[in-house]
Amino acid sequence: MKVSLLLTCLFSLVSLAQTEKPNVLMIVFDDLNDFISPMGGNQQSKTPHFKALAKSSVVFNNAHSNAPVCSPSRASFMTGVHPYSSRNYGFKNAFANSVIKNSKTLPQYMQENNYKTYSAGKIFHGKVRGVWDEVGVEVDYGPLAYNGKKTTLHPSNPKALMPFGALDSTYAPLSDVPNVPASADAPGHAGWVNAKWGQESAFKYNSDDDRDLLNDEKTLQWFKNKIKSMEQEGQDQAFFMALGYIRPHTPLVVPDKYFDMFPLDQIKLPTRKDQDLEDTNYHAKSGNSSRGIKIYEALQTEEDSMKRYTQAYLASVAFADDMLGQTMEALNKSKFRDNTIVILFSDHGYHIGEKNNVWKYTLWEDSTRVPFMIKHPDYQHNAGKIVNHPISLVDVFPSIKDFCQLTGDTRQNPNGAPLDGHSLKTFLANPNSSKWEGPDVAMTMLDSYTSKLPERQNIAVRAKNFRYIRYANGVEELYDHRRDPHEWKNLASNPEYASVKSQMQEQIKLQLSKAHTPANNVPTNTSSEKSSGEKWKDTYFKKHPGADSNKDGELSWPEFHQHKKNNK
């Protein structure tokens, strides 16, 4: 009898262990490129904690954003819907998009599968209400300079940056407290302010030891407290926790100790090539430009500005590394250590002068490639191994679905889209696997602003050895990463690479053939925040539906102007 009871207890414990759900900690950095030691993008960087996590994780060395700017990227990986299915490629409110808003977000889906969901910091781009059990810290990008009426250019930064707004123009040590003089338009202001637009409030700074916390520090503190309280309260329900660290997103403002790690006289600028854009879509006679090119040019107007910007980015990456180190330390000291999957990535990369760019939202490697690591308790025998097969952020949702054995439709209703990505579990089991069900390339898209049709966008595909870019205007670029990791030599017109280019073109067709088609009766983008011009264009479209010449369900400005011209 006693033996029978003992066996029953043992079987019950085994059964419980087998059915215990893993926790998931998702750590998302903003604008973090390859300036971390596991990726080797900059030899000056100091990121010991990224390196330590890489040693205990499977590292995906060829991971890419599906839309290299915050809003569409985050909407995509948080719903598992690729931009080619949602037709959400650019800066519009993603959750006004009919496909995105009718697809379930990752935390919603986790909740339906009996997970507690928590977030702190920047996960979505903007607020998405009702999908978290608890939001620990709201987003604030600050601190910024203030002129008494609105945030403004920091006095220490080049005046040529003024057109790009306070956020993208600010880089300075935290001790460089701005003192903005009065002007004809504003009374001036001394001191930093927090950056919630319309809700600016003072950010106290007397010294690095006597100051307010930065948003990322608040996120870290909340996480430490939350892990401790969950442990003390004996929480046994599985959790999905997402931490969004903002740095190294602008403003590049962090405490002085991180700047001190990179003396200005020792800063080396990232490798670049003179006249690099001459064989690209942005060559001198093309008339094309971009925000990143313009910011780069503005930084050339004052001596050492590019060095100071690079120093500030390196300092912000070192700050991000510190946040990661303290996060992992708190997790590893908790009872959740051995049953928590850690997934770390960035929403997209960032140029620091490469390709004459300082920003994101390009189709080149520095903008699309992201850090990506998975630390999974069941695959520690493969810790430290590298996956070189291309993957993308749209694979995050289906991977977590697979890891946690989640069930149910990932759509809110038929107007949503099914998951476009694929689980990465195959690579955790075998980093060199050739049996992955996902694509051979990672696809990235930029809005062409001429159409919503997927095939009419600016598109890049990254294979194991090549990058191919096809712009909406027909310009092509092809780079061989085996010989040209900086993408300096465009091979698109080289006859020796004709077959490679053809294969990459076929990959674009193949991927686009899998795109979800939005319901005909549901507009692709319906925003309550449209400008008066957009509203006027919508009114025109209702009166003249034939103006939609490409029949994609939306009236673009070129179509509007052409229809007006044809009907004068």
In terms of C-beta distances under 8 Å and separation of at least 24 residues, what long-range contacts does 263-269 make, across chains too? 264/304, 264/307, 264/308, 264/311, 266/44, 267/44, 267/307, 267/310, 267/311, 267/314, 268/44, 269/306, 269/307, 269/310, 269/352, 269/353
Q: How confident is the model at residue 200 (pLDDT cuts 50, 70, 90)?
A: confident
Enumerate residues 6+ apart whose C-beta is below 8 A from 186: 147, 148, 149, 150, 152, 180
pLDDT of residue 547: 81
Structure tokens at 9: 């207890």
DSSP 196-208: -TT---EE-EEET
Residue 162 to residues 158, 309, 358, 450, 513: CA-CA distances in angstroms?
A: 8, 15, 15, 29, 43
Read off the amino acid at residue 337.
Answer: R
pTM listed for this prediction: 0.90
Q: How confident is the model at residue 197, as a pLDDT?
A: 73
Domains of the chain, by residue range, sit at 23-138+214-291+314-433, 145-211, 532-566
Q: 534 versus 202: which is more confidently predicted?
A: 202
Average pLDDT over residues 524-542: 57
pLDDT at 537: 72
Judged against a pLDDT cut of 70, whether residue 558 lies above it is answered with no
352 burial (CB, 10 Å; 0-12 / 13-18 / 19+) is buried
Phi and psi, residue 117, nearest 5°? -120, 130
Under the banding of pLDDT at 50, 70 and 90, the label for residue 196 is confident
For residue 280, how far is the Cα from the chain centroid?
25
Q: For the CA atoms of 284, 487, 438, 524, what is the dihedral angle to 10 degrees?
A: -20
pLDDT digits (tens, 9 = 90+) for 302-347: 999 999 999 999 999 999 999 999 999 999 999 999 999 999 999 9
Categorise residue 486: left if φ over 0, alpha if ψ from -120 to 50, beta otherwise.
alpha
Of 28, 244, 29, 23, give the one whose Cα is nearest residue 117. Answer: 23
The reported pLDDT for the residue numbered 16 is 38
Q: What average pLDDT does range 465-494 have in this prediction? A: 98
Beta carbons of 393 and 65 less than 8 angstroms apart = yes
The pLDDT confidence band at residue 80, using thresholds 50, 70 and 90, is: very high
Which fold would CATH assign to domain 23-138+214-291+314-433?
Answer: Alkaline Phosphatase, subunit A (3.40.720)
Confidence at 545, pLDDT banded by 50, 70, 90: confident
pLDDT beyond 90 at 129: no
Mean local confidence (pLDDT), 52-74: 98
* C-alpha–C-alpha distance, residues 357 and 151, integer Å: 24
Instruction: Say if residue 90's pLDDT is above 60.
Output: yes
Cβ contact 393:86 at 8 Å: no
Residue 516 corresponds to which amino acid? H
Cα angle 429, 433, 435 (rounded to 5 degrees) comes to: 105
Identify the pLDDT of residue 209: 95
> Does residue 532 register a pLDDT over 80?
no
